[in-house]
Amino acid sequence: MIPHTMSRTVVLGVIGSDAHVVGITILEQAFSAAGLTVINLGVQTSQAEFAEAADRHDADAVLVSSLYGHAEQDCQGFQETLEAHGVDAVTYIGGNLAVGQDDFEETRETFEDLGFDRVFDAETSPEEAIAALRRDLRIPITDQERVTVTS
């Protein structure tokens, strides 16, 4: 676990008609333990709800989850929706993003083309996502954390 030094806000939710809640619950707990302020929108979240929450909470990152395989259709125009709400945040998406996903690199490219900064598969650990947030939000590791992480 990474100690509490990241005072950044992330908006997290499951997009579209997807009702898979376990993944975002695990992420919410891990991100909170890492010191992030987490706004968990829950399941079946619309693009507008993501954008409104990110704007309202001045979010540093917006993390979209989808496990039912239809994320591409749910995320068409997502970046434009954020921009329309004045949101300037790092955007991540993760999960089982495409039905019959054989080549994740192809899926990654699809979502990068949709404007997502990072694209994760369903096997990504919360620690990997936290490390990516640290890099993307330029959150330095403190000496205390360095000792904790390497111990």
Show the CA angle centred on residue 124, arms to residues 115 and 137, nearest 5°.
Answer: 50
Task: Tell me the backbone φ, ψ of residue 85, rounded to 5 degrees.
Answer: -95, 5
- Active-site residue among 20, 57, 70, 85? 20
Q: Could you confirm whether 20 is annotated as catalytic?
A: yes
**What span, in angstroms and rounded, lies between the C-alpha atoms of 94 and 24?**
10
- Active-site residue among 4, 18, 102, 121? 18
The total number of residues shown for the chain amounts to: 151
Output Rg (C-alpha) for the chain, integer angstroms.
Answer: 15
Structure tokens at 73: 């259709």
Q: Could you confirm whether 70 is annotated as catalytic?
A: no
Show the CA angle centred on residue 19, arms to residues 17 and 20, nearest 5°.
Answer: 135
User: Which residues belong to the active site?
Assistant: 18, 20
